[in-house]
Chain A
Amino acid sequence: MTDPATVVDDTVSPANGAEPRRKRLALVASKGTLDQAYPPLILATTAASLGWEVGIYFTFYGLDILHQERFRKLKMASLANPSGPIRLPNVLGAVPGATAAATKVMKRWMKQSRMPDIPEFIEMAQGLDVTFFACATTMGVMGVEEGDLIDGCDVAGAAAFLDFAAGADVQLFI
């Protein structure tokens, strides 16, 4: 067993005055609904505010969060979401207009709470130098070109993200 006294936290300022290592957060954003776009962006902007280095890997439907047209039009599904903003019996979630209504209510909630919208969160994250990895496989599968994405994304595959995540103190899949 390692003697606890010999364990060094290199993210705390060492006594010799050397620069502490920055903590790192690696997130996977895999979902493209309005409600699921917020958690990775909230965690990323918070961690970057704490001084951490942050990278988010946007994959599958999560790639829509980086899509310069779709990221303004993310929807909130009421189907299969019993905790959604409109408490419909699940069977009615498939009725035309249910998704639009749930999306509208969610957007109103966010606005009333003075929460930034998704494009504003993206701008905040970029201002804090959060790295946006755009999943190259998703782009190929879904026919998304680099020019469809917002500026400043790193098109990368799983290995490049894992290379970043291997050095992270916290890794989360959302």
Chain B
Amino acid sequence: MRRYVISRLAQTALVVFLALTVVFGLVRLSGDPVLLFMPTDIQAKDVDEFRQRLGFNDPLAVQYARFLGGAVRGDFGQSLRYQRDALGLVLERLPATLLLAGTAVALTLVVAIPLGVVSAVRRDTLLDHLGTLATVLGQAVPGFWLGLMLIYVFGVQLRWLPTGGTGGIAHLVMPATVLAAFFAARIARLTRSTVLEALGEDYVLTARAKGLRATGVIGKHALRNAAIPVVTLAGLEIGQLLGGAVITETIFAWPGLGRLTVQALLNRDFPVVLAAVFVTSATYTLINLVVDLAYGWLDPRVRVT
């Protein structure tokens, strides 16, 4: 077990390293890095000084070695815009994103899984059809449009909720709903189909035959077996949740990692972009590791020895 975790952590490190290398390469290959790194309003006479100061006169291999050397120590250089340590800036924003994403995941679990189970158990009833309609719509409606419409209805017209920013729980309601919508739709749909599949299995029939109550059959036998594909999808989708956070945070002026990344990209603040790439890919691969470990708990057949 320990060996497995260590080898997976090594793989995670490799993936993060390759991601950084690719982005570093893309940034450097895409033309004069000085022009790319500079704010667009800079004076021409400052170009040479800038080039010297950021070390772009050195050979590419030297620059890459310096970049990696810094990255290992968590040093991605100074943000060009904020004149601050880039990684520090990114890490400062991470808790807000984790709070938003965590709330969205919790919302999904509370809404989507019961919805999927009920749809499967009460198959072809009105409830099932309504549930299916909701999931199909949830997958098709783009998050940023849903966000705008919610702002219009609940923020502008009804004035029930703040249109953006942070503060109390009220500020979290709309962003978390928007972020959860697509995710919840996919999870509910998959839960429905895996529970349906599980309900047709022999062990469910056996459990029923020996007189177990319906809740026991569904909760203990069907749901646990249906959980594996759902957990897999959830793990894969959490990465897309981090992507969705980029848009949601921008719409609702939520001070998280996604909004910082968009601003850094718009400002061509590449040290911050690289630090954000590092944190995002590390978070994502670590979440997937946790998901893989969760399999062993759910399904003893895949338990690693």
Is A bound to B?
no
Q: Footprint of B on A, CB under 8 Å?
A: none
Q: Footprint of A on B, CB under 8 Å?
A: none
